[in-house]
Structure 1
Amino acid sequence: MTRTVLVPSSLARESRDKREATRKLGYVARAATIFRADRLVVYPDRSGERRWGGGFVRTVLAYAATPPYLRKEAWERRDELEYVGVLPPLRAVAQTGSGSDDSGSLRQGIVTEVGSDGRVRVNCGLQHPVSLPVPPEMAVEEGERVTIRVSSRRPLRARIVDVPPPGLAVEESELDTTLSRPDAGVRIAASRHGEELTVARLGELAPRVRDGFTVAFGAPERGLPEILGVDPPRIDPRDDTDAVTDGDSRSHTEPDAQTRFDLWLNTVPNQGSDVVRTEEAMFATLACLNLE
């Protein structure tokens, strides 16, 4: 099961300064972490960007998603990171293996030195870098992030494993590319123009999203219909892959919108504020999709 969250490069477009933009992005990363998203993908919305564009958004989100014990090693001083001190801590729960062969917790590490004896030194947040053998099927380079399975700390027992590093992965990609991934699961557009989520509808959706989903969000004052060039009145919230199975011609959805998403969903029906910020919509939407 893969959970992917898509946010636009114009995400911080209304922020007054870099500090405010950084804080906003911190809550976006926190929402993704709380609800165990696997990927947080920044898709381009260049016509909607203002001062704080895609490079800034991706850099701050990637920094926020980096475990605190690796940030000094992984990040040099960068202008985009001037106010990272205001980021809320993510405090991601450690990922734990199961079974006798895979017991122990997974941690991210950074290779600090590659030896000639098939061993490397890795900074993985312990008291000092540790020397570990590289699995025969792997080739690693200095500065590369690797996954460490720690089965004991006293005495230290750890090994490098050939699996993706645990935690939230921050990427930059075209929206259509991410939606077309084999592991995209149910493709959801979060929009106030979508179908209003009800208790009954949530019960129908729960089995579908259990195997994974990809959910896309818009930007402040610039929702998904505007970003995608879709006329909001023509989005038919009834038209998802389950509802139309026999050539039903009810849908008046724009063709691109129909092929991009399985459904358009409004997870904040009867909202009491004129504006629901992207990070607020993320909390509301992901909380619903997290239910089983």
Structure 2
Amino acid sequence: MTVSVLVPSSLSREAEDKREATRKLGYVARAATVYRVDRLIVYPDRDGETGRFDGGFVSTVLRYAATPPYLRNEVWGKRDELEYAGILPPLRAASQTGSESNGSGSLRQGIVTEVGPDQRVRVNCGLQHPIALNVPPSMEVAEGERVTIRISSRRPVRAKLEDRPLPGLSIERTDLSAALGREDAGVRIAASRFGEQLTVGRLGTLAGQIDRDGLTVAFGAPERGLPDILGIEASAVADTRGVDGNGDDGVEPTADPGFDLWLNTVPNQGSEVVRTEEALFATLAPLSLRE
């Protein structure tokens, strides 16, 4: 099961300065990590960007936040976008542990520091010193490349390179329609206060579908929700029936990029505005429940 979260490039549009913009993005990355999101995707909303904190800034800060602390200096160095990276909340992502008898151990990211002869490389993976590893026949690696390491023992060190995607939260940039069109998108939800209110009964139906197919959920920006971003009238999403197909009303197909359901996960909200980082916690918490 794959879980993807989509946020707009205008995510930090209301931030007064770079420090506040960085803090906000840190909480977005934190929410994604807490609920084991696989992909955090930044989709373009150029009409909503303020110019100072555009999609490049947003994705850079999120990528930095998702980089393991032991690799950050080597991967990023000093960049203007990361001036206030020190205030980012630590993600403290749980180790990914294998259960196979021939491949047990925890997965972590490493960076290749040296490529030697005979398919041997040295890798910095957060241990006391870089370690020398054999490169599997199926892989080709270059100096500076980030790789996946499976560590089965620390004393003595026993580890190996694995030809698989990097563990942990992945940060991407792509169009909203392309993200929703992926084969592993699962149940595609638009989080909006104009959508169908989430109830206990509705959650019971969704939990089974998400557990089987996975989940992609999209969010809007401050003072610019998904209807505004997509140019859809709020009234057009109010009667959307969603994945069970029980209703005929809803968003016109030409305007909707491919959602199965418009969902309000904060019914009867007490504040006029729910911030995006707050909406992530409020939405991912119930949608992570299982039957």
Question: TM-score surpassing 0.5?
Answer: yes
Name the CA distance, whole Å, in 1 between partners of 2:96 and 2:116: 28
Q: CA deviation at 1:241?
A: 2.9
**Structure 1 residue 255: Cα displacement:** 1.6
Match of 1:218 among 217, 220, 236: 220
After TM superposition, give the deviation of residue 237 of structure 1 in Å: 4.0
CA distance, structure 1, for counterparts of residue 163 and residue 21 of structure 2: 36
Task: Please state if 1:12 is matched with 2:12.
Answer: yes
Structure 1 stretches of 5 or more lacking a match?
none
Q: What are the Cα deviations for residues 107-148 of structure 1, in whole angstroms up to 9, with x where unaligned?
A: 100011111221001000000110100001110111111100
- Name whichever of 114-123 and 3-12 sits farther off: 114-123
1:102: how far off?
Answer: 1.7
> What is the total number of aligned residue pairs between the two structures?
288
Residue 187 of structure 2 contacts residue 214 of structure 2 at CA under 8 Å; is this kept in 1?
Answer: yes
Aligned letter for 2:170? A
**Partner residue in 1 for 2:132:** 131
How many Å apart are 1:257 and its aligned residue? 4.5
- Equivalent residue number for residue 239 of structure 1: 241
- Equivalent residue runs for 1:121-160 within 5 Å: 121-160=122-161
| Partner SS, residue 260 of structure 1 | coil
Q: Which amino acid aligns with 1:44?
A: P
Alignment match, 2:40? 40
**Percent of aligned pairs with the same residue?**
69
| CA deviation profile, 1:210-246 (whole Å, cap 9, x unmatched) | 13110000000000000011111011444323124xx
| Counterpart residue number, 1:283 | 281
1:52 aligns with 2:50: no
1:29 aligns with 2:3: no
- Letter of the aligned partner of 1:23 in structure 2? R
Shift >3 Å, 4+ stretches: 256-259
In structure 2, how many angstroms separate the alpha carbons of the residues matched to 1:226 and 1:237?
Answer: 17
In the TM superposition, residue 252 of structure 1 has moved relative to its aligned partner by: 3.8
Q: Deviations over 1:50-93 (max 9, x none)?
A: 02110000000000000001101110210000000110000000
Equivalents in 1 of 2:48, 2:85: separation in Å? 24
Q: Could you tell me the TM-score, scaled by structure 1's length?
A: 0.96
Relative to structure 1, the CA distance from residue 155 to residue 8 in structure 2 (aligned partners, 3 Å threshold; closer, same or farther) is same
